[in-house]
A and B are shown apart, each in its own frame.
Chain A
Amino acid sequence: MKNAIKTWAVCLSALMLLGVFAGCGKTEDTPEGLVILEEALAPEEYGIGFRKGDALCEQVNAALKVLKANGTAADIATKWFGSDITTIVADENALDGVAVEEGRTLILGLDDAFPPMGYRDGNNNIVGFDIDLAQAVCSYLGWELTLQPISWDAKEMELNSGNIDCIWNGMSLDEDRMAAMSCTEPYLANEQVLVVRADSGYSTLSDLSGKTIALQKESTAASALDAAESFKKSLANVRTFGNNLECLMDLEQGGVDAVLMDSVVASYYITTGSSDIS
């Protein structure tokens, strides 16, 4: 009986190891697998969300303008995107007349699975464009920055209950969010784009009529799709997943024909991932 268990345990371990090896070890190719369609949906902008009426919003907003004026924002954007794609309106005197809280700790809420805005690097540290920008703002205002990973589904609850002071994670601004929170002025431009398999031959929105697309639930991709009524009606089905990687996995294996997601994030996935996501 003992021998049977030992044999079985060895077989199981071997099976699991095989699974791990099968799932990895592929070379990181130049991406040929996925492409972004030229035709984009709603252009939108990223902003930072605070509790309704929170004075911090104005302070951070002003700080961003100063940082744009003195070139810090441009440097950070160039580091992450290759050029300054921020849409902050530069104003070196933005902080004049703004009462800045002294020595505050800013608790930044993010879904740390959202590269390149906020994600985990190889050493499991949280990095990203938003992190660098937030750090620059806090250094300028003399504040401490604390990062608090949250579940994106629960972001409003985390914000309102005081667990986090702001949502700073490539959050697209839309009417609902601006009504529910105090938001800064936009700091980055973004569009909702469709990612398709390179060999699928789709190149325009009309090519996707009668097809199925995927998007991340509770994201602005869903509202962008609602706004594009005729396109939405032309689709056979819309599937929602917890995060963009799951959407892309389904795209790769043929479960859906396209993924609707932020262009900023799509570029990251396509340049980082290999031709198949393994």
Chain B
Amino acid sequence: MTYEAIRSLLPAMVEGMLTSLQVFFLTLLISLPLGIVLAAGRMSKHGLIRWPVQLYLLVMRGTPLMLQLFFFYFGPYYLFGAKPMDRLWAAILTFGLNYTAYFAEIFRGGLESIPKGQYEAAIILGMTRWQTFTRIIFPQVLKRILPPMGSEFMTLVKDTALARVIAVAELFDIAAKAANSFVSVTPYILAAVFYLVMNFLVGHGFLLVERKLSYYK
């Protein structure tokens, strides 16, 4: 592929990257808060809350994300005869609901790894539940969930490529179309570079946060 062709392709790839980033950030906006709610539900004493949550976690983590995209995008038509919603929002909704499940389990893992003795000690010291959570529990949980969260964020950056099955013009889709038109693999290499740079930034961001929080080391 000639250098002029690559240069002419770059604006389209940047646009695709912006679409991918849009999906990325809006998905996080939905799934992080919802993940906290679901983690709380999963740890609830009441079975009536716990079981539906467990079912949700099973379905969302147990079915392919691509399948979920088809389901949320074409489902309304095939189930209710309704017109499909906007493609981008269907993708964001699907990713949001899917990643909620993964984040919920990460949050739960972090919370349950705190020894019960700490809660007891806090009670003895006369701390309220809110004080216990914000001053003792939460800072430790945060440090423990950062590595798996970093992995999930990186996975999300790459998963945005799946949105192309409902024809969202994101980065990988543009690269694949260009590769077909120019009969060249170079667009794929370019896409790999773009994803690598994005994930480098995510990884580095998490590294900086982890460093900031390791105040005892």
Residues of A participating in the B interface, judged by any CB pair closer than 8 Å? 9, 12, 16, 19-20, 23-25, 28, 112-115, 119-124, 148-151, 153-154, 157-158, 160-163, 242-245, 248-249, 269, 272-274, 277-278
Contacts and interface: CB of A to CB of B under 8 A. Distances in A.
A278 to B, nearest CB: 6
A23 B187 CA distance: 9
B184 A278 contact: yes
Nearest to B173: A149
A154 B70 CA distance: 8
Interface string B173-196: 010111111111110011011001
**Considering residues A113, A115, A123, A244, which has the most beta carbons from chain B within 10 angstroms of its beta carbon?**
A113
Given A19-B193, A124-B12, A243 B176 contact: yes
B189 A20 contact: yes
B165 A154 contact: yes
B30 interface: no
Binding site of B, secondary structure by majority: helix, strand, loop or mixed?
helix
Contact of A273 (B165, B167, B184): B184
B165 A151 contact: yes
Contacts of A163: 84
A47 B72 CA distance: 30
Nearest to A5: B204
B80 to A, nearest CB: 11
A272 B183 contact: yes
A178 to B, nearest CB: 22
Contacts of B174: 124
A272 B5 CA distance: 14
A25 B5 contact: no
A269 B183 contact: yes
A240 B176 CA distance: 16
A149 B169 contact: yes
Contact of B1 (A243, A248, A249, A278): A278
Contacts of A113: 176-177, 179-181
B180 A23 contact: no
Contact of A115 (B84, B166, B181, B190): B181
A12 B178 contact: no
B10 to A, nearest CB: 10
A20 B192 CA distance: 10
Contact of B200 (A12, A19, A115, A158): A12
Nearest to A269: B183
Contacts of B77: 157, 160-162
A182 to B, nearest CB: 18
Given A24-B184, A124-B12, A244-B180, 5 more contacts: A12-B196, A19-B189, A153-B165, A245-B180, A278-B184
B2 A161 contact: no
B81 to A, nearest CB: 9
B193 A16 contact: yes
A13 to B, nearest CB: 9
Interface string B1-31: 1110110110110000000000000000000
B159 to A, nearest CB: 16
Given A124-B12, A161-B84, A163-B84, A151 B166 contact: yes
A46 to B, nearest CB: 18
